[in-house]
Amino acid sequence: MEDLETLRAEVVAAIAAAPDLAALEETRVAALGKKGRVTALMKSLGGMDPETRKAAGQQMNRVKDAIVQTIEGRRAALEAAELEARLGRERVDVTLPARPARSGAVHPISQTWDEVVAIFGQMGFAVAEGPDIEDDFHNFTALNFPPGHPAREMHDTFFLPERADGTRHVLRTHTSPVQVRTMLNQAPPIRILAPGRTYRSDSDMTHTPMFHQFEGLVLDQTTHMGHLKGCLQEFVQAYFEVDDVPMRFRPSFFPFTEPSAEVDIRCSRKGGELRIGVGDDWLEILGCGMVHPNVLRACGLDPEEVQGFAFGVGLERIAMLKYGIPDLRTFFDSDLRWLRHYGFAALDVPTLHGGLAR
Ligand code: PHE
């Protein structure tokens, strides 16, 4: 029994001296583990006679319980101390600036596309699309380009290899073939906006081999040039977000419209800064006109029955003007620095009531 008391005192002292949880665990195993000192004593009970065994057993169990409790107490104390130490060590500096979260940006082409669709959508236009690869009929013939017209031979049209029947398809040189496809497939009244890619073999500050246009077509029994002017006036003011933009219709020529006009808007270039709607310079922004009777006929419509207008606008051109982008070629360089600089927040979807661009 004296042994038992010594054992208890020694184990309790070792527990109290354990500096950390690992040392405490070692102490526990040395006492209570399979080969521990207390376990060994318990095993010795087997060799005792029943009377002695009962008394000794009770005492041993008491000692064992005391040891277990001491270990638990020490463990709780060590854990609390460890937590205390960690809290002291690991401090969060809430005054540090947040790490910037890199997010993607909407390309100025997509942004401008969405803005234009929002504006014309509000005016009741539906979006129409057509293929990038067109045949001669849709890109030229139906649009009243006569057989020998220079545009057909133009060094800046991309022709595809000759086909079995001797014809050659083209990469569409404008979005006007979508007018033709729409008139062939749908009866008037028609009110469509056709945004899309167009191609011409050209490359400098203001020309790239691929660029975007959007085409407008309105066709019914009464639409006249006054409607064309009102519609474009509305568009220009909404797009440039300026209340009043003086416009000028300059007589021009397109095979597929008659009369045809090019539209200029008022601007100022004072101090190297372009401002829309003020000043005394003019800026050309689009081509338009009344749909030519020959185009209507080519699409199976009677010019005595229907009439309307069409317009075509360069998407990059108006994006460059609105967002101050000097070189067209940079739109297609995929330079990340450029994209981050000129890009738009992905969740700022352009709407007329919410504001087109922020
Ligand atoms: N298709 C013409 C071009 O690419 C633009 C245009 C469209 C002009 C519709 C008038 C009417 O230059």
| C-alpha 93: how far from chain center | 33
Contact call for residues 194 and 117 (beta carbons, < 8 A): no
Atom of ligand 1 nearest to the CA of 260: 10
Same domain flag for 121 and 251: yes
Quote the pLDDT of residue 313. Answer: 97
Q: Which residues are annotated as a binding site?
A: 258
Per-residue DSSP letter, 99: P
At residue 285, the 3 state secondary structure works out as strand
Proportion of the chain above pLDDT 70, given as a percent: 99
Q: CA-to-CA distance for 62 and 41, rounded, in angstroms?
A: 13
Token pair in block for residue 186: 């749908």
User: What pLDDT is stored for residue 69 in this prediction?
Assistant: 93
Average pLDDT value over all residues in the chain = 92
CA distance 50 to 170: 109
Residues 212 and 75 in one domain: no
Classify strands 190-199 and 126-127 as parallel, antiparallel or unpaired.
parallel
CATH number for the domain that contains residue 210:
3.30.930.10
| 146 and 293 housed in the same domain | yes
- pTM for the predicted model, two decimal places: 0.73
Please state the domain count of the chain: 2
Could you read off the pLDDT of 64-75 as tens digits, one per residue? 999 999 999 999
Q: Which atom of ligand 1 is nearest to the CA of 174?
A: 4
Residues 58 and 123 in one domain: no
358 lies in some domain: no
In this structure, are 78 and 123 located in the same domain?
no
The whole domain housing 122 covers: 108-332
For residue 154, what pLDDT is reported? 64
Q: Are residues 137 and 21 in the same domain?
A: no
Instruction: Give the mean pLDDT of 224-240.
Output: 97
User: Per the structure block, which two tokens stand in for 233?
Assistant: 């006036």
Nearest Cα neighbor of 115 from 336, 315, 288 is 315
- Could you tell me if 72 and 217 lie in one domain? no
Asked if the structure places residue 121 within a domain, the reply is yes
Mind listing the pLDDT tens digit for each residue in 108-161? 999 999 999 999 999 999 999 999 999 999 999 999 999 888 877 766 899 999
- pLDDT at position 206 is 81
Mutate to test the pocket of ligand 1, among 143, 254, 262, 292 (most ligand atoms within 8 A of CB): 254
119, 45: one domain: no
